[in-house]
A and B are shown apart, each in its own frame.
Chain A
Protein backbone atom coordinates (compact mmCIF):
# COMPACT_ATOMS: atom_id res chain seq x y z
CA UNK A 1 0.00 0.00 0.00
CA UNK A 2 1.29 3.44 -0.89
CA UNK A 3 -0.10 6.85 -1.74
CA UNK A 4 -0.64 5.80 -5.36
CA UNK A 5 -2.57 2.60 -4.70
CA UNK A 6 -4.60 3.73 -1.69
CA UNK A 7 -8.32 3.86 -2.45
CA UNK A 8 -11.49 4.00 -0.41
CA UNK A 9 -15.14 3.41 -1.08
CA UNK A 10 -17.90 5.91 -0.45
CA UNK A 11 -21.46 4.89 -1.30
CA UNK A 12 -20.24 2.40 -3.88
CA UNK A 13 -17.78 4.80 -5.51
CA UNK A 14 -14.10 3.94 -5.47
CA UNK A 15 -12.11 7.07 -4.79
CA UNK A 16 -8.41 7.84 -4.80
CA UNK A 17 -8.57 11.25 -3.20
CA UNK A 18 -9.54 11.46 0.45
CA UNK A 19 -10.00 15.20 0.22
CA UNK A 20 -13.46 16.59 -0.51
CA UNK A 21 -13.54 20.32 -1.14
CA UNK A 22 -16.11 23.07 -1.24
CA UNK A 23 -16.52 25.54 -4.10
CA UNK A 24 -17.53 28.60 -2.06
CA UNK A 25 -15.73 31.85 -1.13
CA UNK A 26 -13.31 31.91 -4.06
CA UNK A 27 -12.54 35.13 -5.92
CA UNK A 28 -13.94 33.81 -9.20
CA UNK A 29 -14.51 30.73 -11.33
CA UNK A 30 -10.89 30.65 -12.51
CA UNK A 31 -9.52 30.57 -8.99
CA UNK A 32 -12.05 27.90 -8.03
CA UNK A 33 -11.04 25.71 -10.96
CA UNK A 34 -7.33 26.06 -10.24
CA UNK A 35 -7.82 25.26 -6.54
CA UNK A 36 -9.99 22.21 -7.28
CA UNK A 37 -7.33 20.99 -9.68
CA UNK A 38 -4.52 21.47 -7.15
CA UNK A 39 -6.52 19.75 -4.40
CA UNK A 40 -6.83 16.55 -6.41
CA UNK A 41 -10.40 16.20 -5.10
CA UNK A 42 -12.86 13.96 -6.91
CA UNK A 43 -15.93 15.13 -5.01
CA UNK A 44 -16.79 18.81 -4.61
CA UNK A 45 -19.64 20.38 -2.71
CA UNK A 46 -22.04 22.95 -4.15
CA UNK A 47 -24.92 24.96 -2.70
CA UNK A 48 -28.40 25.53 -4.09
CA UNK A 49 -29.61 29.12 -4.40
CA UNK A 50 -32.09 31.26 -6.31
CA UNK A 51 -30.73 32.03 -9.78
CA UNK A 52 -29.08 35.38 -10.19
CA UNK A 53 -30.74 36.77 -13.31
CA UNK A 54 -27.80 39.14 -13.82
CA UNK A 55 -25.07 36.54 -13.48
CA UNK A 56 -23.19 35.79 -16.69
CA UNK A 57 -21.88 32.35 -15.89
CA UNK A 58 -23.35 29.43 -14.04
CA UNK A 59 -21.29 26.96 -12.04
CA UNK A 60 -22.86 24.08 -13.93
CA UNK A 61 -21.69 25.55 -17.22
CA UNK A 62 -17.98 25.65 -16.29
CA UNK A 63 -17.39 22.86 -13.81
CA UNK A 64 -16.03 19.62 -15.31
CA UNK A 65 -18.69 17.12 -14.34
CA UNK A 66 -16.80 14.21 -15.86
CA UNK A 67 -13.98 14.90 -13.44
CA UNK A 68 -15.87 15.91 -10.30
CA UNK A 69 -18.85 14.39 -8.55
CA UNK A 70 -20.99 17.29 -7.37
CA UNK A 71 -22.21 16.96 -3.82
CA UNK A 72 -25.14 19.32 -3.23
CA UNK A 73 -25.40 20.63 0.33
CA UNK A 74 -28.16 22.15 2.41
CA UNK A 75 -26.13 25.01 3.83
CA UNK A 76 -28.35 27.66 5.36
CA UNK A 77 -31.19 25.25 6.18
CA UNK A 78 -32.47 25.43 9.75
CA UNK A 79 -35.10 22.70 9.61
CA UNK A 80 -35.51 19.19 8.25
CA UNK A 81 -38.27 20.48 5.95
CA UNK A 82 -36.02 23.13 4.38
CA UNK A 83 -33.20 20.65 3.91
CA UNK A 84 -35.44 18.04 2.28
CA UNK A 85 -37.03 20.69 0.03
CA UNK A 86 -33.58 21.92 -1.02
CA UNK A 87 -32.29 18.47 -1.88
CA UNK A 88 -35.37 17.54 -3.85
CA UNK A 89 -34.67 20.61 -6.00
CA UNK A 90 -31.01 19.63 -6.23
CA UNK A 91 -32.02 16.21 -7.51
CA UNK A 92 -34.16 17.91 -10.14
CA UNK A 93 -30.98 19.55 -11.45
CA UNK A 94 -29.87 16.16 -12.65
CA UNK A 95 -27.13 15.56 -10.12
CA UNK A 96 -26.63 12.10 -8.67
CA UNK A 97 -28.61 11.26 -5.57
CA UNK A 98 -25.62 11.65 -3.26
CA UNK A 99 -26.08 14.67 -0.98
CA UNK A 100 -24.49 16.44 1.95
CA UNK A 101 -27.12 16.99 4.61
CA UNK A 102 -26.53 19.82 7.02
CA UNK A 103 -29.22 21.29 9.21
CA UNK A 104 -27.93 24.24 11.17
CA UNK A 105 -29.10 24.90 14.72
CA UNK A 106 -27.36 28.14 15.62
CA UNK A 107 -26.33 31.10 13.46
CA UNK A 108 -23.30 32.08 15.53
CA UNK A 109 -21.55 28.72 15.71
CA UNK A 110 -23.31 27.06 12.74
CA UNK A 111 -23.42 23.95 14.90
CA UNK A 112 -25.73 21.31 13.47
CA UNK A 113 -29.18 20.60 14.84
CA UNK A 114 -28.78 16.86 15.29
CA UNK A 115 -32.48 16.26 15.94
CA UNK A 116 -33.53 17.91 12.67
CA UNK A 117 -30.63 16.22 10.87
CA UNK A 118 -31.85 12.79 11.95
CA UNK A 119 -35.39 13.69 10.92
CA UNK A 120 -34.26 14.88 7.47
CA UNK A 121 -31.96 11.88 6.99
CA UNK A 122 -34.85 9.52 7.59
CA UNK A 123 -37.02 11.21 4.93
CA UNK A 124 -34.19 11.50 2.39
CA UNK A 125 -33.12 7.88 2.79
CA UNK A 126 -36.72 6.82 2.33
CA UNK A 127 -36.76 8.81 -0.93
CA UNK A 128 -33.67 7.02 -2.20
CA UNK A 129 -31.02 9.64 -1.54
CA UNK A 130 -27.49 8.69 -0.54
CA UNK A 131 -27.01 10.80 2.56
CA UNK A 132 -23.73 12.15 3.93
CA UNK A 133 -24.70 13.99 7.11
CA UNK A 134 -22.73 16.77 8.78
CA UNK A 135 -23.08 16.41 12.55
CA UNK A 136 -21.45 17.21 15.85
CA UNK A 137 -18.48 15.13 17.00
CA UNK A 138 -20.83 13.03 19.09
CA UNK A 139 -20.47 9.23 18.86
CA UNK A 140 -24.13 8.74 19.78
CA UNK A 141 -25.55 10.87 16.98
CA UNK A 142 -23.06 9.31 14.55
CA UNK A 143 -24.23 5.86 15.57
CA UNK A 144 -27.88 6.86 15.06
CA UNK A 145 -27.15 8.33 11.61
CA UNK A 146 -25.34 5.19 10.58
CA UNK A 147 -28.19 3.01 11.90
CA UNK A 148 -30.66 4.95 9.74
CA UNK A 149 -28.62 4.05 6.66
CA UNK A 150 -26.44 7.08 6.00
CA UNK A 151 -23.52 6.29 3.68
CA UNK A 152 -20.99 8.07 5.91
CA UNK A 153 -20.88 10.23 9.00
CA UNK A 154 -19.31 13.67 8.86
CA UNK A 155 -18.53 15.00 12.32
CA UNK A 156 -17.20 18.53 12.55
CA UNK A 157 -13.62 19.26 13.59
CA UNK A 158 -14.67 22.72 14.77
CA UNK A 159 -17.26 25.33 13.72
CA UNK A 160 -17.63 25.87 9.95
CA UNK A 161 -15.14 28.43 8.67
CA UNK A 162 -13.40 28.77 12.06
CA UNK A 163 -10.08 27.16 11.15
CA UNK A 164 -9.74 25.98 14.75
CA UNK A 165 -8.66 22.47 13.79
CA UNK A 166 -9.77 19.29 15.51
CA UNK A 167 -11.20 20.30 18.87
CA UNK A 168 -11.87 16.84 20.23
CA UNK A 169 -9.55 14.17 18.92
CA UNK A 170 -10.79 11.71 21.49
CA UNK A 171 -14.38 11.89 20.22
CA UNK A 172 -13.28 11.60 16.60
CA UNK A 173 -11.31 8.49 17.56
CA UNK A 174 -14.34 6.99 19.32
CA UNK A 175 -16.51 7.70 16.28
CA UNK A 176 -13.99 5.99 13.99
CA UNK A 177 -13.72 3.02 16.34
CA UNK A 178 -17.46 2.30 16.26
CA UNK A 179 -18.29 3.23 12.65
CA UNK A 180 -18.90 0.75 9.86
CA UNK A 181 -19.28 3.53 7.31
CA UNK A 182 -16.64 6.08 6.27
CA UNK A 183 -15.93 8.86 8.76
CA UNK A 184 -15.23 12.19 7.10
CA UNK A 185 -14.17 15.13 9.21
CA UNK A 186 -16.19 18.06 7.90
CA UNK A 187 -15.59 21.70 8.80
CA UNK A 188 -13.19 23.55 11.03
CA UNK A 189 -9.89 22.50 9.50
CA UNK A 190 -7.53 25.48 9.29
CA UNK A 191 -4.30 24.32 7.75
CA UNK A 192 -2.57 21.26 6.33
CA UNK A 193 -1.48 19.85 9.69
CA UNK A 194 -5.14 19.76 10.81
CA UNK A 195 -5.98 17.60 7.80
CA UNK A 196 -3.01 15.40 8.60
CA UNK A 197 -4.17 14.97 12.21
CA UNK A 198 -7.65 13.95 11.01
CA UNK A 199 -6.15 11.31 8.75
CA UNK A 200 -3.70 10.11 11.41
CA UNK A 201 -6.65 9.53 13.72
CA UNK A 202 -8.00 7.14 11.09
CA UNK A 203 -10.61 9.22 9.31
CA UNK A 204 -11.49 8.04 5.81
CA UNK A 205 -11.58 11.55 4.43
CA UNK A 206 -11.63 15.27 5.14
CA UNK A 207 -14.03 17.88 3.79
CA UNK A 208 -13.09 21.55 3.76
CA UNK A 209 -13.77 24.83 2.02
CA UNK A 210 -12.67 27.97 3.86
CA UNK A 211 -9.21 26.67 4.80
CA UNK A 212 -8.37 26.60 1.10
CA UNK A 213 -10.50 29.44 -0.26
CA UNK A 214 -9.45 31.95 2.38
CA UNK A 215 -5.74 31.18 2.42
CA UNK A 216 -3.59 33.99 1.02
CA UNK A 217 -2.79 31.69 -1.88
CA UNK A 218 -5.73 29.29 -2.23
CA UNK A 219 -4.13 27.28 -5.00
CA UNK A 220 -0.96 26.63 -3.02
CA UNK A 221 -3.03 25.76 0.05
CA UNK A 222 -5.10 23.32 -2.00
CA UNK A 223 -1.88 21.52 -2.87
CA UNK A 224 -0.78 21.65 0.78
CA UNK A 225 -4.08 20.07 1.82
CA UNK A 226 -3.74 17.37 -0.80
CA UNK A 227 -0.31 16.49 0.55
CA UNK A 228 -1.40 16.86 4.18
CA UNK A 229 -4.18 14.33 3.67
CA UNK A 230 -1.83 11.90 1.94
CA UNK A 231 0.81 12.31 4.67
CA UNK A 232 -1.73 11.67 7.41
CA UNK A 233 -3.16 8.64 5.66
CA UNK A 234 0.29 7.10 5.14
CA UNK A 235 1.26 7.79 8.74
CA UNK A 236 -1.97 6.14 9.92
CA UNK A 237 -1.29 3.06 7.82
CA UNK A 238 2.38 2.98 8.76
CA UNK A 239 1.44 2.92 12.46
CA UNK A 240 3.16 5.49 14.61
CA UNK A 241 5.80 4.74 17.25
CA UNK A 242 4.72 4.60 20.86
CA UNK A 243 4.91 7.83 22.82
CA UNK A 244 7.43 7.74 25.69
CA UNK A 245 7.82 10.03 28.63
CA UNK A 246 11.62 9.98 28.41
CA UNK A 247 14.28 9.86 25.76
CA UNK A 248 15.30 6.71 23.95
CA UNK A 249 18.63 7.06 22.15
CA UNK A 250 18.59 6.66 18.38
CA UNK A 251 22.26 5.78 18.11
CA UNK A 252 23.81 2.61 19.61
CA UNK A 253 24.51 3.03 23.31
CA UNK A 254 27.51 0.68 23.16
CA UNK A 255 30.81 1.02 21.30
CA UNK A 256 31.49 4.54 22.41
CA UNK A 257 35.12 5.62 22.35
CA UNK A 258 36.77 6.20 25.68
Chain B
Protein backbone atom coordinates (compact mmCIF):
# COMPACT_ATOMS: atom_id res chain seq x y z
CA UNK B 1 0.00 0.00 0.00
CA UNK B 2 1.34 3.44 -0.87
CA UNK B 3 2.29 5.68 2.02
CA UNK B 4 2.09 9.41 1.62
CA UNK B 5 2.72 12.33 3.97
CA UNK B 6 -0.49 14.33 4.25
CA UNK B 7 -0.21 17.66 6.05
CA UNK B 8 2.88 16.42 7.85
CA UNK B 9 1.39 13.06 8.95
CA UNK B 10 2.14 9.69 7.33
CA UNK B 11 -0.97 8.13 5.81
CA UNK B 12 -1.56 4.83 4.03
CA UNK B 13 -3.65 4.75 0.90
CA UNK B 14 -5.45 1.60 -0.22
CA UNK B 15 -4.04 2.20 -3.72
CA UNK B 16 -2.58 5.01 -5.82
CA UNK B 17 -5.40 7.46 -6.55
CA UNK B 18 -6.08 10.85 -8.06
CA UNK B 19 -6.09 14.04 -6.02
CA UNK B 20 -9.85 14.26 -6.60
CA UNK B 21 -10.34 10.76 -5.19
CA UNK B 22 -8.18 11.54 -2.17
CA UNK B 23 -10.12 14.74 -1.44
CA UNK B 24 -13.39 12.88 -1.62
CA UNK B 25 -12.07 10.03 0.52
CA UNK B 26 -11.08 12.57 3.19
CA UNK B 27 -14.61 13.96 3.17
CA UNK B 28 -13.48 17.36 1.88
CA UNK B 29 -15.08 19.62 -0.67
CA UNK B 30 -12.74 20.32 -3.57
CA UNK B 31 -13.88 23.92 -3.91
CA UNK B 32 -12.91 24.66 -0.30
CA UNK B 33 -9.32 23.42 -0.45
CA UNK B 34 -6.09 24.00 -2.33
CA UNK B 35 -3.58 21.21 -2.91
CA UNK B 36 0.17 21.13 -3.15
CA UNK B 37 1.94 17.90 -4.15
CA UNK B 38 5.69 17.75 -3.56
CA UNK B 39 5.67 21.57 -3.23
CA UNK B 40 3.94 22.08 -6.57
CA UNK B 41 0.37 23.36 -6.67
CA UNK B 42 -2.07 20.97 -8.29
CA UNK B 43 -4.60 23.25 -9.98
CA UNK B 44 -8.21 22.28 -9.36
CA UNK B 45 -8.73 21.55 -13.05
CA UNK B 46 -6.07 18.84 -12.77
CA UNK B 47 -7.37 17.12 -9.62
CA UNK B 48 -9.02 14.45 -11.74
CA UNK B 49 -5.79 13.38 -13.44
CA UNK B 50 -3.05 14.14 -10.92
CA UNK B 51 -1.97 10.91 -9.23
CA UNK B 52 -1.03 10.52 -5.59
CA UNK B 53 1.41 7.69 -5.06
CA UNK B 54 3.93 6.26 -2.62
CA UNK B 55 6.28 8.84 -1.13
CA UNK B 56 4.29 11.89 -2.21
CA UNK B 57 4.09 14.78 0.20
CA UNK B 58 0.76 16.57 0.12
CA UNK B 59 -0.41 19.77 1.68
CA UNK B 60 -4.16 20.35 1.65
CA UNK B 61 -5.03 23.81 2.91
CA UNK B 62 -7.99 26.09 3.38
CA UNK B 63 -8.84 29.44 4.92
CA UNK B 64 -9.29 29.88 8.65
CA UNK B 65 -9.93 32.92 10.79
CA UNK B 66 -6.93 35.20 11.00
CA UNK B 67 -5.75 38.79 11.18
Contacts and interface: CB of A to CB of B under 8 A. Distances in A.
Interface of A: 22-26, 32, 45-51, 53, 58-61, 70, 72-73, 75, 85, 88-90, 92-95, 160-161, 187, 207-210
B34 A73 contact: no
Given A53-B26, A92-B41, A92-B43, A47 B32 contact: no
A60 B63 CA distance: 7
Given A50-B60, A51-B26, 12 more contacts: A24-B65, A46-B65, A46-B66, A47-B64, A47-B65, A48-B63, A49-B64, A51-B60, A58-B63, A61-B32, A89-B36, A93-B63
Contacts of A209: 66-67
Nearest to A75: B66
Contact of B8 (A50, A88, A93, A94): A50
A92 B34 contact: yes
> From DSSP, what is the main secondary structure of chain A's interface residues?
mixed
A24 B7 contact: no
Given A60-B32, A61-B32, A53 B27 contact: yes
15 contacts: A22-B65, A23-B65, A26-B65, A49-B62, A50-B8, A51-B60, A58-B32, A73-B66, A89-B34, A89-B36, A89-B41, A89-B59, A93-B62, A94-B31, A208-B67
A22 B67 contact: yes
Interface centre among B27, B39, B59, B67, by most chain A C-beta atoms within 10 angstroms, is B67
